[in-house]
Amino acid sequence: MNAADKPLLSVTNLKRHYDVRLPGGLFGTPATLKAVDGISFEIMKGKTLGLVGESGCGKSTTAKLVLGHIPVTAGEIRFDGEKVTANHNAQWRAMRRRMQMIYQDPLGALDRRLSVADQIGEPIQIHTPETPKAERDERVASLMADVGLRRDMADRFPHELSGGQRQRVVIARALSLKPDLLVGDEPVSALDVSIQAQVLNLLDDLRQSTGFTALFISHDLKVVRQMSDRVAVMYLGRIVESGAPEEVFRRPQHPYTQALVSAIPTIRRSAVANRIVLKGDPPNPVNAPPGCPFHTRCPSAIAQCKSEVPALLETAGHKVACHLVNNAPAGAGIAAE
Amino acid sequence: MDAIVSIRNMTVDFDQGHRFVRALHGISLDVGRGETVGIVGESGCGKSITWLAALGLLGKRARVGGRVMMGSKSLLDLDPNGLADIRGGKIAMIFQDPSSSLNPVHRIGRQIGEALRLHRGLRGGAAKAEAKRLLDRVGISNAAQRLNEYPHELSGGMNQRVMIAMALAGEPEVLIADEPTTALDVTIQAQILDLLRELSADNEMALVLISHDLGVVADMTERVAVMYCGRIIEQAATDALFSRPVHPYTRGLIAALPDIVGPKRRLASIPGTVPPPDRLPPGCSFAPRCGRADQACTDRQPELAGIGGQGHDVSCLHATELAMTAMREAASNEMERA
């Protein structure tokens, strides 16, 4: 096995539960919110995994867990073979240098009192304080050029930049330490269409030139398809389907993915005709239903779905967690073109 | 088609203390009875301001010019009482974030009841019965019980349904939906769009859908106006606009969209950014970002003019030539599909 076949990030049976109190009784009733409930995935070196799902499905919690920002309830995260913990000791800091994050809101992620150049140079100063200033300035200038920021913007402050430029600063900052893993949590969701395309192309170019591995989180299936080598669809803290984006979005197997894909309005096909509109809202993750988390909204649920949690089973690289798909005779499937 | 609302040459200037900055440079737009019109554009292009100005909702710092006619009434000349009859009664508006449009300390039933009292004079039992009917109409189950709940007890999609119910309370002839599904998840968005489509068809209510999402607009509307820097730069029937876009900005927007079907391709991005309203370039506002721009484009602002009939209007000096290209592309796409 050579280096390229080894996963850079591997996550096994990851869980994150929160103790919460529901209304009722004097101090409320204790309950458990299962934000992430047993997910496993691997990202190979240089590849990008797209994580999609609706709000509250646990995508952002997964990002925080992967970076060791919050402790896990159960399961294991390994980054380049080493275990990621939430103990913020020297070992974690050394690892964290190699894992960087891009957030949705660039203004919130930047320090309003630092100029663009200081902003981008700050991680270098923190993690390698021995770097001489001249070398740091040179690195900052080359990073700015890489992300398409003009040289004269170096002295500007975040409020003087447009949304797209701010996100470029955030990206330059994240790349300043040459990370091996980049975690993007809705990195283009706050941007307008024309700027979104610029930033997506930029990330694509940078990935080719620097070869970073990425975990790309978004609610937008079109953006995820554009960016990812593999995708995983989450629902209520679990992965319900994963595989190559072409496969998952063209021939979705899980009823949830089918509804999700069909619900996206696009200008290149008329979605109205064969749109699957799900009834109701996703259930509250505090009292997630037993069995398959999706059975309350699933148009084709059977009795087994209400009691048994379906396992994520693989057929030719395409994994699905659905009783209807996994119990069906080979090749039958419930999916329709 | 008889227009139910017609905006003519509307301008909006904002008072910046020492000077006025023009945000809207003469918009003319008709909305026909029962028609669904989409308004698209990126943030800051003036798509929301157009309708806020028409309804007198911009406040004292804005100077609004032009005319907005609804029947024989000129909305910009109405006194506050006259405007209050129009708002909610004739033209209702719903916004992006339902939870900040609803009052968090009042029950749903009371908020819908207020709209019913103001616009239809209903009170007491009659108002309650009508509020329940409206909640049923917008697809909220358990309507009688929901009337006694507060906005925080409902989900985002439910709250948007409540907003729609309130907008329907005055039986408006036009519903302005300003990014109605932007804050919602995709599966909930599909529910709300279906509801809006159904309501506008059933009640012969015109629907103006303001959105940054070209997909939503393509899906929902009969006619689309594309705005850039306070001007309408292209408008056409929805099919024509998306199959044969002419203005370089519209073409750029469509090419910049990633897609869920078809082959994966590199996105064609539009270079540069939208200029701020107080620093618009001379001539066509899009010229600095446009691949087609030449000297003439920086000299004068092109007028919105019809090309090829069927109400396809474009504001571009190169419109005729680009229209030919668009026709050729549409034909070759057609061939590919066949």
pTM, two decimal places: 0.87
Q: Does B190 touch chain A (CB under 8 A)?
A: yes
Q: For chain A, list residues with pLDDT below 50.
A: 1, 331-337
State whether residue A223 sits within 8 Å of chain B by CB: yes
- Let me know: does A118 contact A105? Beta carbons within 8 Å: no
CB B1 within 8 A of CB B32: yes
| Chain B touched by A259 (CB under 8 Å) | yes
pLDDT tens digits for A296-329?
A: 999 889 999 999 999 999 888 899 999 988 887 5
Record: contact A221-B187, CB cut-off 8 A:
no
Domain ranges across chain B: 3-221, 241-337
Cα–Cα nearest to B179, from B192, B165, B194: B192
User: What pLDDT is attached to residue B233?
Assistant: 96
Q: Pick from A257, A232, A276: which is nearest to A333 by CA?
A: A257
Top-level class of domain B3-221:
alpha beta
Check B187 against A55: CB less than 8 A apart: no
Residue A23's contacts (CB-CB under 8 Å, 6 or more residues apart) are: A29
Give the pLDDT confidence of A48-103 residue by residue, as tens digits.
999 999 888 899 999 999 999 999 999 999 999 999 998 889 899 889 999 999 98
User: What is the residue extent of each domain of chain A?
Assistant: 3-98+179-327
Sequence letter at residue B144: A
**B254 → closest Cβ in A196, A245, A267:** A267
Mean pLDDT of B311-318: 93
- Check pLDDT > 80 for residue B101: yes
Q: What gap in Å lies between CA A291 and CA A323, rounded to an integer?
A: 10
Which of A:180-219 have CB within 8 Å of B? Answer: 192-198, 200-201, 204, 219
Question: Which tokens belong to A331?
Answer: 């090749």
Are the C-beta atoms of residues A121 and A136 closer than 8 Å to each other? yes
Q: Mean pLDDT across chain B, nearest whole number? A: 91
**Superfamily, domain A3-98+179-327:** P-loop containing nucleotide triphosphate hydrolases (3.40.50.300)
